[in-house]
Structure 1
Amino acid sequence: MASHRRPARVTVLTAAAAATAAASLGAVPASADPGTGTETARTRVDRLFEEAERATESYNEADEKADALRRTVARARDGLARGQERVNRMRGVLGSVAGAQYRSGGIDPALALLLSSDPDSYLERASALDRLTARQSTALGELQREQRRLGQRRSEARTALAELERSRTEVARHKRTVEGKLAEARRVLASLTAEERADFEERASRTGGREDAGGAPGGPAGETAPAAADAGPVSSRVAAAVAAARGAVGRPYVWGATGPSAFDCSGLMVWSYRQAGISLPRTSAAQRHAGRRVPLSHARPGDLVTYRSDASHVAIYVGNGQVIHAPYPGARVRYDPVNMMSHVTVTRV
C-alpha cells in the first residue's frame, strides 16, 4: 500500500506464535493417525495459503481502486473550490455594475434626456451605458454557465465519494478474509509438532534449497525445471529489474506490501520493475496481461511467470529454470523452480 496505508504484517511460522497457539489448542489427539492427520493438516495449510493469496490479490485490486478514487475525489474537490471562487468573483463584478446602474439610472432615459442641460453629453453617456449593459449581459450568461458547470462538478464529486466509500468497505472485507485465512493456517500449524512444522516448511519451500555463493539453488531429488532456452539478450532496464529481485531475496512476505523491506508476490514484481523505471499493474492477474505471452521454453530473465488458472501468484524468471518470488506469509523471498505450480504463463514486459 502507499504511504497512507500500513499493511498488516502477518508472520506465520515464528516459534513464538506457534508456541502460543499450541498452548491454547493443545497437541494432536493421541488417537489420530499421525501420518494421515499430518498430511491432512499440510494439505489444509496449503489450501489456506492459496486462498489467502487469492484474497490478498483481491485486496490489492480493491485498494488500488480506492487509491484512484481518492485521487479523483481530491481533484473534484479542488475543481469545486476553484469553480466556486470564479463564481464569487463574477458575482462581485456584476453586483458592482448593477449598483452603479441603480445609482445613475434611476429615472426613465427619455425623461432624463428631456431634462438634461447637455443632450449631446447625455447621449454619449447613454451609449457607454448600453455598451456596459451588453458586457454585463455577456458576463451574466457566463456566470449562469459557470454555475451549471459547478453543479455538475458537485454531482460528480458526490458520485465519486459514494464510490470511494463502497470501495473502502470492499477493501476492509478482503482484509478480513485474508486475516481469517491466515489465522486459521496458524491454528493448523500450531497443531503440528515442532518436527512436523519444520518438515512442512521444508516441503513447502518446494526446492528445499538455499541460495549460495555458487548461484541459484537446485530442486529436491526427482524435481527438475523444464529446460528454458534463455535465448536472446535482455535490455538494460529488464536486467535492472532482475537485479532488484535478486537483491530482495531473503526479505519477508507481507501481504499488501510493495517493498522495499517486505513484499507480497505481485508487490515484489511492482517494486523490482519500478527500480528499472518500468510501471507494472498492482495485481498478479493484471501483470499476466502486462506484455506479450511467450512459451515457457523461450522464457528469458525478466519475464513474469504467473501461476494457477486465475493468475493468483506471480514470480520473475531469472534464468536456468529458476524464478524469484515472495511465496506466502511466514516465508521469505527466494528462488524456486519455474514449474513449482500449475498453469504456468510467461509474459514478456
Structure 2
Amino acid sequence: MNARVASHSRTTARTAGAIMLIGAATATALGGFAHADPPPTPAEVRARVDRLHHEAEQTVEEYNGVKEEADRTERALDDLRDEAARKTARLNDARNALGSFATAQYRNGTADPTVQLALSAEPEDYLRSAALLERVGNRQATALEGVGRQLREVEQVRAEARDRLAELKDARAELKRHKGAIEDKLTEARGLLDTLTAEQRDAVLGADGHGGAGGSAGDRAARGAARGPVQAPNARAARAVSYAQGAVGSPYVWGAVGPAAFDCSGLTQAAWGAAGVSLPRTTYTQAAAGSTVPRSALAPGDLVFYYSGLSHVGIYAGGGQIIHAPRPGATVRYAPVDSMPFVTAVRPA
C-alpha cells in the first residue's frame, strides 16, 4: 500500500512538473506576442523607404558606370575582331603567294649552278637568268619576312582581343552583382510599402524624399513658377531644358536613358544629348563635364547635384525649380532646387 502511494505521488509530481513547463512555455509565447514590436508607422516606413531608395540610387549610378565601361569594352572587342579578320585575310593571301612561288621552284628544280654554266650553250644568257633568280630569291626572302611580321601582328591583335573579352566577362559579372543589390533594396522597399493602407502608401510615394511632393498639381505649380521664355545662357541649354520639360510625367526606370523612361542621370544625359552635347553616363562623371556654377548664379540648363556622393542630379529649369527623375515608382517631375541637400552645380560646355 505504501509503495502504491509512493508511486502515485511520483506520477503526480511528474504530471505537475509537465504542466508547469507547458504553462511556462505558453506564458513565454504569450509574452512574446504581447511584447512583439508594433508595425512601423507611416512616418517610419517613409524614412526607411527613402533610405532604401537612396541606397538603390547610389548603386544604380555605380551600375551605370560599369555598364558604360562594359559597352565601350564590347565595342573595342568588336573592332579588334574585325581587325584580326582583316589581318588574317591578308596573311592568308601572303601565304598563298609564297606557296605558289615555292611550288613553282620545286616543279622547275635546277641543277648545280656550276654545271649549268659549263653546259650552257650561251653563258651570257645563263648569267642573266641567274641574276634574275637571285632577285626573285630576294623577293622571296622579303615575302617570308612579311609573312612573319603579319603572323606576329595577328597574334598581337588576338591577344588584345582575349584581354578585352576577359575584361568584358568581369564587367558583366559586376553588373549582375549591382543589379542584384538594386533589386534587393527595391524589393525591401516594396515590402514596407505593402504594410500600409492604399491611402498611406500614396502619401509616402507622393512625398518621395527626392524633392518633396510630386504629382500633377505640384508640376503645374512648378510650371507656373518657371513659366515664360527660358532665359538660358545659350540655345543649347534652352534646348536641353525644353527636352526635360517634355519628359515630365515619364516613369523612372533605373538604367533608362529615354525616350520613354529615365533614371536621374539618364534624363540629364538625354536632355543635353538632344541639344547636341554628349554627357557622360553617371552623376559623378557628369559633375566634371563642365564649369562649376555657384548656387546663386544658376541658369536654366545647369546640372544640379545632390547628396555627398553626388548620387542624384536634376536640370535647372528656372524659377527656383529643377526637373528630375526622382526614384522607382515616381515620374519625372519638377521640384524646388533646395528640396534636397545641394552639393554643386555644373554648366555643360
The two structures have a TM-score, normalised by structure 2, of: 0.84
Q: 1:306 — aligned with what?
A: 305
Percent of residue pairs bearing the same amino acid type: 48
For 1:346, the aligned partner's letter is: A
- Does the 8 Å CA contact 2:304/2:342 hold for their aligned counterparts? no
Give structure 1 regions of 4+ aligned residues with deviation exceeding 3 angstroms: 29-34, 230-233
Q: 1:287 — aligned with what?
A: 286
Any idea what the Cα deviations from partners look like across 1:23-62, whole Å, max 9, x if unmatched? Answer: xxxxxx997667x632221111000000110111111111
Any idea what the Cα deviations from partners look like across 1:201-227, whole Å, max 9, x if unmatched? Answer: 232250455222883469xxxxxxxxx
The two structures have a TM-score, normalised by structure 1, of: 0.84
Any idea what the Cα deviations from partners look like across 1:282-332, whole Å, max 9, x if unmatched? Answer: 001111111011101001000001111111111000111100000001100
Deviation (angstroms), 1:103: 2.7
Segments of 5+ residues of structure 2 without an aligned counterpart are 1-33
Deviation (angstroms), 1:344: 2.4
Change (3 A) 1:86 1:99: same
Q: 1:69 — aligned with what?
A: 73
5 Å-filtered alignment, 1:121-200, equals 121-200=125-204
The reply to whether residue 318 of structure 1 matches residue 317 of structure 2 is: yes
5 Å-filtered alignment, 1:1-349, equals 37-204=41-208, 206-208=212-214, 209-212=217-220, 215-216=223-224, 233-349=232-348
Q: 1:19 — aligned with what?
A: none
- Does the 8 Å CA contact 2:253/2:328 hold for their aligned counterparts? yes
**2: CA distance between counterparts of 1:343 and 1:323?**
12
**1: CA distance between counterparts of 2:93 and 2:206?**
71
Segments of 5+ residues of structure 1 without an aligned counterpart are 1-28, 219-229
- Does the 8 Å CA contact 1:258/1:264 hold for their aligned counterparts? yes
Any idea what the Cα deviations from partners look like across 1:91-110, whole Å, max 9, x if unmatched? Answer: 11111112222233432111
Q: 1:23 — aligned with what?
A: none
Deviation (angstroms), 1:171: 0.8
Between structures 1 and 2, the one with greater helix share: 2
Structure with greater contact order relative to length (CA < 8 Å, sep ≥ 6): 1
- Does the 8 Å CA contact 2:254/2:263 hold for their aligned counterparts? yes
The alignment of Structure 1 onto Structure 2 pairs a total of residues equal to 309
- Does the 8 Å CA contact 2:231/2:300 hold for their aligned counterparts? no
Higher-Rg structure is: 2
**1: CA distance between counterparts of 2:111 and 2:337?**
92
- Does the 8 Å CA contact 1:211/1:217 hold for their aligned counterparts? no
Q: 1:25 — aligned with what?
A: none
